Every structure is written in C-alpha cells, then in structure tokens.
C-alpha cells in the first residue's frame, strides 16, 4: 500500500508540471505588454522595470517558464501590487478558509448523496425515489449563488436562525461554535449540486450492483436485507462512486468562488473575483495554481481510497 | 463513460430520426422539458415583437416596485426598469451565449476527439494528455483564469465557458472514434482509396454524432449556469448589456429591501436549465439503448409470489423438500412469460436428486425458486407450493424465509468468481454466513470458518482465509462456496451447476468432495447440471427438464439404462465415452433428426 501511494505521488509530478505550464501560459497569453497588464493601475515605470527583471520577460518563453517555476518551487509567487504583500502569503491565508468550506461541503455532500442514492435505489420507483430524483434534478438545475441568496433571505434575515456572512462574528466572534454556525449556510449551499450528482451516480451504481450474482449469494446465506444492502451492495457501489466524489472536489473548490462571494467567506474564491476586477494577475495566477494543485491532491486521495477499498485493484 | 457511449453510438443509424423523436416525446419528462424549452426559447426569440416596455428605460420615480404592481407585472429594479421586459431580454442574451458556447465547445472538442481517436498512437497520446491536463483543473477556476486574461465581458465569458467544456467533448468523441477507426467499414473505405478527411466526414462522423448530441444535451445546462455565474460575479455581461446572471448580481445589493430583483432572474435561469436537463436526460435515454430496456430493475429480497396462485397439497409429506406444481415466470412491460411450468419434485433426507436439462430448460429457475431467490422484478412465482419439512416456503413471512436460507436450505452456485463478493476476504464471507444464524463471538467464528475451509480441502486455511476471491483458483473458489453452504449444517443443499465453470480434473475433485460431504453429513442434495456423466457419478435419482417442464423422473440406474423420453436419450448419448469417439457423431445424429423430436 505504501508503495502504491508512493508510486501515485510520483505520478503526480507530470500532472503538476502540466498544470504549472497551463497556468504559466495563461499568463503569457495576456495581450499587450505583460508587465503593464500584470501591474494594471500600478504600472509605474519603476514597477514595470522590476516585473521585467523578476520574471525575465525579455527572455524567451521557455526560459521565462523555468525562471517562474523555480521561483514557485521556492515559494515565491510574486507580489500582489494591489495588496502590497507577497502572493503566497495572501493565497495561503485565504486557502485555509476555502479548505474549511470546501472540505466540510465535500463531507456533507458525500454523506447526503450516498444516503439519498442508496435509499433511492432500494426504494426504486417508490415515493422516496421519486422525491430524491426530483430533488436531484432541481438541485443541479439551480444556480448555487441564487440558492445562497434565498437561504440568506429566509434563514438569516427572516427567521434569524443563522449568520448570513463571514467566517466569524465581527464582535465577540471566534471559536469553533461560531465557525460552525457561520459554516452551515455556505456549506449547505455549496453541497447541493455535488450531492445531487453523487446521489444520481450512487443510485445507478446500486442498481447495477444489486443485480450481481454475489448479492444473490449474500441473500442465499440468509443475511438480513439491511446487511445485504449495506455490507454487500453499498460496499461494492462505493468503489465506483469514490472517483466521482474526487471529481466533486473540483466542483466544490470551483463553486466556492460563487459561494464565497455570496456569503462573504474570506477564501481564495472571493479573492480571485476581486483580483480579476483589479487586474491583479499574479494574485489570480497564484490562487489558481494553489487551488488546482489541491484538486489534484483530492483526486489522488480518492484514488488511494478506492484502491484501499477494492482488493482487486490493490493486488 | 466512453464505454456506454460506445454502446450508444452503434445502433442509432438504424432506428432513424422519426422513431428517436417519437421515443423522446414519449418520455413524459423529456416532453415537458422540450415544451418548456420551446416556450422559453420562442419568448426570447420573439422579444422584439412582444409588447414589452424598453428594458433599458429608467424611471427613478418607479424604482423597486414589487411584483404584480400596476403596469409592471414583475415589478421594477433599482433604476425603475421593467423587470418582465428585462427578464425576457436577459434570457435572450443568456440563452444565446449558453448555446453559442455549447456549439463552440462541441465543434472544437469533437474535432480534437475525432483527430486524436482516428490518428491514434502518439498523436492521440499527446492530445489526450493535454485534454487531461485541462480536466485536472477545477472547471470554474479555469474559466475564471481565462476571463482574468481576456478581461471581463460577455464574449470573453463565452470563450471561457466553451474552452473549459472542450475536454468533455474531446474525451467522449475520442473514445468512440478510437473503436470506429479500427472497424471493418472504415478499413474498407480506406482500401477503396478515400482520403482521411473524407473518411472522417462520411464514415466516422455520422456514427459519432449521437455521442456529440448526448454530450451537448447534457452540458448545455451547465454552460448556461456557468455563463450566468460569471455574469453574476461581474465578469460576464457588462452594463448596459444584461443577461440573467448580471441582473441577479446587480439585484443583490437590494436583496433585503427588494428581493424580487434578484430572485426573479434566478427563477428564470432555473427554468431554462431544468428544461434543458429534462430534455438532456431524455436524449441520453433514447440514444443510449442500454437504459431504454429497463434492464436496471432492482431485485427485491425475495421472489414475488402471485396472491392468487393455486397451492397444491403436499403429496409427499415424508420428503424434506417437496416442490409441487411450480410455475415461475418473468414479466416484461406487463407481459408475463412462464419459464417453468407445473414442475413437481421431491427430495428425501440424505438423498441426491439430479435435475438435468439443457440451458434455458428452467433448471436454475426451479432451483432458485425454492428459497425465493429468482430476481424479482421481473421474476414471479405464479403457481405451486414449496414444502420444506411440510411448511410452505412461499407462504412464509419474509423474516422467516430469510432465516431458513442458509440454515435449512443452502446454495452452491455456478461461477464462484462472480458469486463470491469480490471485496471481502473469503474467511470473512464464511464467518458472515455462520453469524447470520448462530450467535458466536469473533474468535469462535474465525475458528469455525477456518475449520470449514480445512474440511473442504483448502490448504493453509488460516492463511487463505484472509485472501480475496480473485486470489484463488477456480477450484478453490468453488470449495469456498461449498464451505459457505455447509456453514450452518443445512438439511438441503441446492447445487446449481457447481462444476460447470471448472475444468474436468477439478470438476472430478469437487464432485468427490460433494459426495463425501453428503455421506458424512446426511444432507439432501439437489444437484443441477446439464451433464449426464456428472449425474451418474453422484445422483440417486434424476429428473429431466425440457422447455420448463419435467419430462421424466426415475432412479439414476434405471433411467440411464432404459430412458423413456427421446430427449433423455439424446442427453445420455451426448456423454462421450473413452474409445467410442470415432463413431460419436454418426451414433448421435439419428437422435437429433426432426422426426425423432418430441
């Protein structure tokens, strides 16, 4: 198992390499003078000269890439001129908030999605199944930011049950309880789409598995139906759903852009939106790079988990 | 995904456009989605002709009028503009951008997929690595990065959304193309001197088209949502231009005072996307025939039994298991077809009854009916009774039936690779069988399961118990299956072709083991096979099945030496004997002439 994880970690190197190339190229594609574009309204001649020196913009593209990547590997993602601080500091600080939100949402949508999918499959064509199917369809058809606004209106403004924005209360905030209260609405909103997709695929996987011969064997042994469903059918279905959960990590990390904006969550997503409108290109680049890299790691985790659950892949 | 799409690709040429359309509209949800979409699209298209006020005419005096106010059906926004008019014009922009992005992504993605799949080899590898790279990004993030470079704006949002969706098309199309590029008809076209371009356009593309349509219909909704999202963040449509997303985003400032300004555009986005998704699901179902058959029905815990079955008397009260007048069938789309009819069998304690017949004769259905293990739906026990020690199994409540499974009647199935759970160690699977009927602690469970494994001849049982089914040989797996059946000392074991999946030498070993165990434990055995050689080895009595009926029953020796039914004679003749191979076919042939058929 350790050897497998090591092997997978090594296989990440080319993926991360490709990722960095794309991020780099996106920046290089900026029309016009890159230094001016990067600096936006901070393009004093002094700053332009500094950017050109830092990034080696007078050199060929390939050389520029290697200068850039060696800086990145040393933890230097450049400097945000709008915030006047190193990009890496800002991004890492905000990434913590995003990770809390995305991580909780991922757990949330996995639990809800798996449960709904299993129940839906077991009660195929029953009212639970119909309700779940409809809820899934509605969930994946609505803009999450709109749902967020509605939840704010209802739960935060009208019934005043939960805080509407931020990560902690401004006065006297802090602590786990405060964080959790602030998390509920954004995490729930962010989970909806992913939970719907997971539920759909879990239902399909369960229906597929329930027809397998080994389910008949389990029944022939005299196992209670609940055990047949959970220990035999669900166990096998889970293996094919886990990679999908890995992919949902991407939806959750990406969808955080909207949710963080709506709920004013101090994460990378909200930062990116601001950075784009102030044309703080290096901050955008750094944010995208860190979030994309974390998505790769989420997928790796899903792969490893799948391997741990399925002996056939493992050996 | 590409596997199922591959299955989808092949048959669409045949049914033709009309039948696909009628199928699509026959799907009620898809039809609703289609109608909704048509209405919404028409409204958007005809916006210039509709009697609507100018969507951009501001009226500061009438700002933030609520829904249903006079002259403004949906109220007004923060600048006093008519919401209804803005909504219609906004959906026009949203739909145009969403559909344009879909088409751009489909075009570019399909070309990439076609080229990669058709060229194969290094080109394929290189292109698909690039596509994988794009997919390694969280989708929305990549769109953001592109907008960051190009700058905010509706067209730039369109490009960004299109680019991030290209990989989906490229992947799906490439998967199907890859298989098609090696198809015979493509080879034939190549040999006939057609150029690559013309082959791609005339031979490959028509077969890939369904995949493109499926992918378009399943991604269009996303693209509308994503476009709206970018506009919501202020990165798409820029004022005075407005789409639904930017309306929502601008209305957010008034969320607490006039929520309708942001809620209403959201409803519209929701309607557009849900109509697309309903239609998309329908399109996928129609073009992917595997889903159409309704083959994915969930089998319940026990076979359904008809309420009005006729329930014959127990004519063999001394038998441990007595099947009387059993009729089991399958219903598809309300049509019922029997698989076995009026089958009666009995099995006395310690006896071995062989049930023999060709594939499809109903042996397995009979065997599985005994403990209600025929998948249902579609299975249905229409008539008959099954007496286990004089008690009708079909009348038992579910909990009672389940408690009898494994403890009184146990099963050994045909292919132990598919019948053992692939993700649990074999020892655990046996322990589970024991634990289902006996209260034992972990330690004793383990000891029992290892003892059982040893009994069925698995060497180093303690070590082997930790292995998974795929790590065992076929013969060993079947031994595990037998151990599992023995776990609770059942009165009856139903062995459903236990040796069919094994090679001949292993088959003999398994038969020896079964006979030995049967003698040792006095368990009654219902042995299902299509091989008379096997029957003569192990069975006391034989029942011959054909076309769902028992055609002949008798003591094995008698039946073998003096078969009455033509079919029995044929089955017996099919067993090759050493030294008689030369004349085998000519000896068997007369039995199969049409006139000798029953």
Give the model confidence (pLDDT) of B263-290 as tens digits.
999 999 999 999 999 998 888 878 775 5
Cα B187 versus chain centre, distance: 33
Q: Which of B264, B292, B320 is the last residue of a domain?
A: B292
- Give residue B260's pLDDT: 87
A214 and B419 in contact (C-beta within 8 Å)? yes
- Give residue A314's pLDDT: 62
This prediction has a pTM of 0.87
- Among the partner-chain residues B145, B262, B470, the one whose CB lies closest to the CB of A312 is B470
| B283 in the same domain as B420 | no
Please list the alpha-helical segments (H only) found in chain A. 2-28, 34-39, 45-55, 61-73, 87-122, 127-141, 144-151, 175-210, 213-220, 225-227, 235-263, 268-277, 281-309, 311-314
- Give residue B10's pLDDT: 42
- Give residue B290's pLDDT: 57
d(CA B488, CA B431): 10
Domain presence at residue B370: no
Domain presence at residue B235: yes
> Hey, which bits of B389-513 come out as E strands?
391-392, 409-412, 492-496
| B138:A292 CB<8 A | yes
| B579 in the same domain as B451 | yes
Domain presence at residue B249: yes
Across the range B18-47, mean pLDDT stands at: 83
Chain A residues with beta carbon closer than 8 angstroms to that of B301: 219, 225, 228
Q: Which of B292, B323, B349 is the last residue of a domain?
A: B292
CA distance B197 to chain A (A): 30
How deeply is B440 buried, as exposed, middle or buried, from its count of CB atoms within 10 A (0-12, 13-18, 19+)?
middle
Closest Cα in chain A to B152? A277
Closest Cα in chain A to B153? A277
Domain presence at residue B24: yes
Helix (H) or strand (E) holding B171: helix B154-180
Give the bridge partners for B332, in sequence order: B335
Across the range B313-318, mean pLDDT stands at: 86
Cα A198 versus chain centre, distance: 14
- Give residue B296's pLDDT: 67
Across the range B529-542, mean pLDDT stands at: 85
Q: Which residue has the tokens 């309903």?
A: B278
User: Could you tell me the pLDDT band of residue B401, with boundaries at 50, 70 and 90?
Assistant: very high
d(CA B572, CA B583): 15
Contacts of B163 by beta carbon, 8 Å cutoff, 6+ apart: B105, B134, B142, B143, B146
Closest Cα in chain B to A272? B144
**Closest-CA residue to B137 (of B112, B163, B99):** B163
pLDDT higher at B4 or A60: A60
Q: What's phi and psi for B553, nearest 5 deg?
A: -135, 150
Chain B residues with beta carbon closer than 8 angstroms to that of A22: 133-134, 137
Q: Does B76 have pLDDT greater than 90?
A: no
| B373:A212 CB<8 A | no
Distances in Å between the Cα of A26 and the Cα atoms of A80, A279, B533 are 17, 14, 72
For the record, the structure tokens of A87 come out as: 């990009």
| B422 in the same domain as B277 | no
Domain presence at residue B346: no
Q: At what angle do helices B154-180 and B83-119 cross, to 10 degrees?
A: 30
| B423 in the same domain as B287 | no
How deeply is B311 buried, as exposed, middle or buried, from its count of CB atoms within 10 A (0-12, 13-18, 19+)?
middle
pLDDT digits (tens, 9 = 90+) for B162-175: 999 999 999 999 98
d(CA A174, CA A176): 7
| B455 in the same domain as B589 | yes
User: Could you tell me the pLDDT band of residue B2, with boundaries at 50, 70 and 90?
Assistant: very low
Rounded to two decimals, the ipTM of the complex is 0.89
- Give residue B14's pLDDT: 41
Best to test chain A binding among B37, B141, B270, B467 (most A CBs inside 10 Å): B141
- Give residue A315's pLDDT: 54
| B415 in the same domain as B285 | no
- Give residue A55's pLDDT: 67
Across the range B120-127, mean pLDDT stands at: 88
- Among the partner-chain residues B235, B273, B375, the one whose CB lies closest to the CB of A276 is B235
CA distance A30 to chain B (A): 5
Query: Cis before residue B378, ω within 30 degrees of 0?
Result: yes
Chain B residues with beta carbon closer than 8 angstroms to that of A310: 422-423
Domains of chain A and any CATH numbers: 2-87 (no CATH), 88-314 (1.10.3720.10)
Q: What DSSP designation does B213 have?
A: H
User: Could you tell me the pLDDT band of residue B7, with boundaries at 50, 70 and 90?
Assistant: very low
Q: Does B18 have pLDDT greater than 70?
A: no
Question: What's the domain range around B453?
Answer: 409-597
| A213:B225 CB<8 A | no
Contacts of A251 by beta carbon, 8 Å cutoff, 6+ apart: A193, A194, A197, B138, B139, B140
Best to test chain B binding among A80, A154, A196, A214 (most B CBs inside 10 Å): A214
Please list the alpha-helical segments (H only) found in B181-302. 184-191, 196-199, 205-232, 244-251, 260-287, 289-292
d(CA B311, CA A136): 45
- Give residue A34's pLDDT: 66
B332 and B378 in contact (C-beta within 8 Å)? yes
| A222:B407 CB<8 A | yes
User: Could you tell me the pLDDT band of residue B524, with boundaries at 50, 70 and 90?
Assistant: very high
Q: Does B597 have pLDDT greater than 70?
A: no
Q: Does B1 have pLDDT greater than 50?
A: no
User: Could you tell me the pLDDT band of residue B594, with boundaries at 50, 70 and 90?
Assistant: low
d(CA B49, CA B471): 71
User: Could you tell me the pLDDT band of residue B579, with boundaries at 50, 70 and 90?
Assistant: low
Domain presence at residue B349: no
Count of structural domains, chain B: 2
Domain presence at residue B305: no
B572: domain CATH number is 3.40.50.300
B330 at A interface, C-beta within 8 A: no
Q: What DSSP designation does B530 have?
A: S
Q: At what angle do helices B154-180 and B121-135 cross, to 10 degrees?
A: 140
B214 and B284 in contact (C-beta within 8 Å)? yes
Domain presence at residue B299: no
- Give residue B13's pLDDT: 40
Q: Which of B242, B260, B292 is the last residue of a domain?
A: B292
B291 at A interface, C-beta within 8 A: no
- Among the partner-chain residues A21, A122, A281, the one whose CB lies closest to the CB of B298 is A122
| B429 in the same domain as B285 | no
Query: Cis before residue B162, ω within 30 degrees of 0?
Result: no
For the record, the structure tokens of A216 come out as: 């008949």
Cα B180 versus chain centre, distance: 24
pLDDT digits (tens, 9 = 90+) for B452-502: 999 888 889 999 999 999 999 888 999 999 999 999 989 999 999 888 877
Q: Does B596 have pLDDT greater than 50?
A: no
Q: Which residue has the tokens 């310690």?
A: B350
User: Could you tell me the pLDDT band of residue B16, with boundaries at 50, 70 and 90?
Assistant: very low
For the record, the structure tokens of B100 come out as: 């344009």
- Give residue A113's pLDDT: 95
B201: domain CATH number is 1.10.3720.10
Chain B residues with beta carbon closer than 8 angstroms to that of A254: 138-141
Which residues of chain A fall below pLDDT 50? none
Per the document, the length of chain B is: 598
User: Could you tell me the pLDDT band of residue B576, with boundaries at 50, 70 and 90?
Assistant: low
d(CA A95, CA A107): 18
- Among the partner-chain residues B144, B152, B484, the one whose CB lies closest to the CB of A221 is B484
- Give residue A312's pLDDT: 73
- Give residue B483's pLDDT: 92
For the record, the structure tokens of A163 come out as: 């805080």
- CA B170, B173, B176, B177 torsion: positive or negative? negative
- Give residue A42's pLDDT: 73
């Amino acid at each position: 198992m350790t050897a497998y994880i090591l092997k997978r970690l090594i296989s990440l190197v080319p993926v991360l390499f490709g990722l960095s190339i794309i991020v780099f190229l996106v920046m290089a594609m900026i029309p016009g003078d890159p230094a001016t574009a990067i600096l936006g309204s901070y393009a004093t001649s002094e700053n332009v000269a500094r950017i050109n020196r830092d990034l080696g913009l007078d050199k060929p593209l390939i050389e520029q890439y290697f200068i850039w990547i060696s800086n990145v590997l040393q933890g230097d993602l450049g400097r945000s001129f709008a915030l006047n601080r190193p990009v890496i500091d800002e991004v890492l600080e905000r990434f913590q908030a995003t990770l809390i939100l995305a991580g909780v949402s991922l757990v949330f949508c996995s639990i809800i999605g798996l449960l709904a999918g299993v129940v839906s499959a077991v009660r195929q064509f029953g009212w639970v199944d119909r309700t779940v199917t409809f809820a899934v369809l509605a969930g994946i058809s609505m803009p999450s930011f709109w749902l967020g606004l509605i939840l704010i209106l209802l739960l935060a403004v009208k019934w005043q049950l939960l805080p509407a924005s931020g990560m902690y209360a401004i006065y006297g905030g802090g602590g786990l309880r405060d964080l959790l209260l602030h998390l509920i609405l954004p995490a729930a909103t962010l989970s909806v789409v992913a939970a719907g997709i997971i539920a759909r695929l879990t239902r399909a996987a369960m229906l597929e598995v329930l027809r397998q011969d080994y389910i008949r064997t389990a029944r022939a042994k005299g196992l209670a139906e609940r055990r047949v469903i959970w220990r035999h059918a669900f166990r096998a279905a889970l293996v094919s759903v886990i990679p999908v959960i890995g992919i949902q990590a991407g939806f959750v990390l990406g969808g955080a852009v909207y949710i963080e904006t709506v709920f004013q969550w101090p994460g990378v997503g909200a930062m990116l939106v601001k950075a784009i409108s102030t044309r703080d290109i290096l901050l955008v680049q750094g944010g995208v790079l860190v979030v994309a890299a974390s998505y790769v790691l989420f997928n790796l985790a899903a792969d490893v988990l799948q391997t741990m659950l399925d002996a056939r892949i493992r050996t | 995904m590409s596997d199922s799409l591959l299955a989808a690709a092949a048959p669409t040429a045949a049914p033709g456009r009309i039948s696909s359309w009628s199928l699509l509209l026959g799907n009620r949800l898809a039809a609703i989605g289609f109608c909704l979409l048509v209405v919404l699209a028409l409204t958007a298209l005809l916006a210039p002709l509709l009697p609507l006020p100018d969507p951009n005419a501001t009226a500061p005096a009438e700002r933030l009028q609520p829904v249903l106010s006079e002259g403004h059906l949906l109220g007004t926004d923060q600048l006093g503009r008519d919401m209804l008019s803005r909504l219609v014009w906004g959906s026009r922009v949203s739909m145009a951008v969403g559909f344009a992005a879909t088409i751009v992504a489909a075009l570019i993605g399909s070309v990439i997929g076609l080229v990669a799949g058709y060229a194969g080899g290094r080109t394929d590898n290189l292109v698909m690595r690039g596509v994988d790279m794009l997919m390694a990004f969280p989708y929305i993030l990549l769109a953001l990065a592109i907008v960051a470079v190009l700058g905010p704006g509706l067209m730039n949002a369109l490009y960004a959304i299109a680019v991030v969706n290209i990989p989906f098309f490229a992947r799906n199309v490439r998967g199907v193309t890859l298989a098609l590029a090696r198809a015979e008809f493509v080879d034939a076209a190549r040999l006939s001197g057609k150029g690559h371009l013309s082959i791609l356009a005339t031979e490959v593309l028509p077969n890939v088209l369904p995949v493109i349509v499926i992918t378009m219909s399943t991604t269009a909704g996303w693209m509308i949502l994503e476009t709206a999202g970018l506009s919501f963040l202020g990165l798409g449509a820029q004022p005075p231009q407005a789409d639904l997303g930017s309306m929502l985003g601008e209305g957010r400032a008034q969320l607490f005072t006039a929520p309708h300004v942001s809620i209403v555009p959201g409803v519209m986005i929701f309607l557009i996307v849900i109509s697309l998704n309903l239609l998309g699901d329908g399109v996928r179902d129609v073009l992917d025939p595997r889903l159409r058959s309704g083959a994915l029905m969930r089998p319940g815990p026990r076979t359904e039994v008809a309420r009005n079955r006729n329930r014959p008397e127990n004519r063999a009260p001394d038998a441990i298991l007595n099947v009387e007048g059993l009729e089991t069938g399958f219903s598809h789309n309300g049509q019922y077809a029997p698989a076995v009819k009026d089958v009666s069998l009995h099995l006395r304690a310690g006896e071995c009854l062989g049930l023999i017949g060709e594939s499809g004769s109903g042996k397995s259905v009979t065997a599985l009916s005994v403990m209600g293990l025929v998948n249902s739906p579609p299975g249905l026990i229409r008539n008959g009774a099954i007496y286990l020690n004089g008690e009708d199994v079909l009348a038992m409540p579910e909990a009672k039936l389940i408690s009898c499974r494994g403890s009184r009647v146990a099963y050994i199935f045909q292919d132990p690779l598919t019948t053992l759970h692939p993700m649990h160690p074999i020892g655990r699977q046996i322990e589970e069988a024991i634990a289902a009927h006996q209260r034992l602690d972990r330690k004793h469970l383990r000891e029992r399961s290892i003892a059982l494994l040893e009994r069925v001849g698995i060497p180093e049982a303690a070590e082997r118990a930790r292995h998974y089914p795929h790590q065992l040989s076929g013969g060993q797996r079947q031994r595990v299956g037998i151990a599992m059946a023995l776990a609770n000392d059942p009165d009856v074991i139903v062995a459903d072709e236990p040796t069919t999946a094994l090679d001949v030498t292993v088959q003999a070993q398994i038969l020896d083991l079964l006979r030995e165990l049967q003698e040792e434990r006095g368990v009654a055995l219902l042995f299902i096979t299509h091989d008379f050689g096997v029957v003569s080895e192990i069975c006391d009595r034989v029942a011959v099945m054909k076309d769902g009926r028992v055609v002949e029953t008798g003591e094995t020796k008698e039946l073998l030496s003096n078969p009455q039914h033509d079919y029995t004679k044929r089955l017996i003749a099919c067993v090759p004997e050493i030294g008689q191979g030369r004349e085998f076919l000519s000896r068997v042939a007369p039995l199969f002439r049409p006139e000798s058929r029953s």
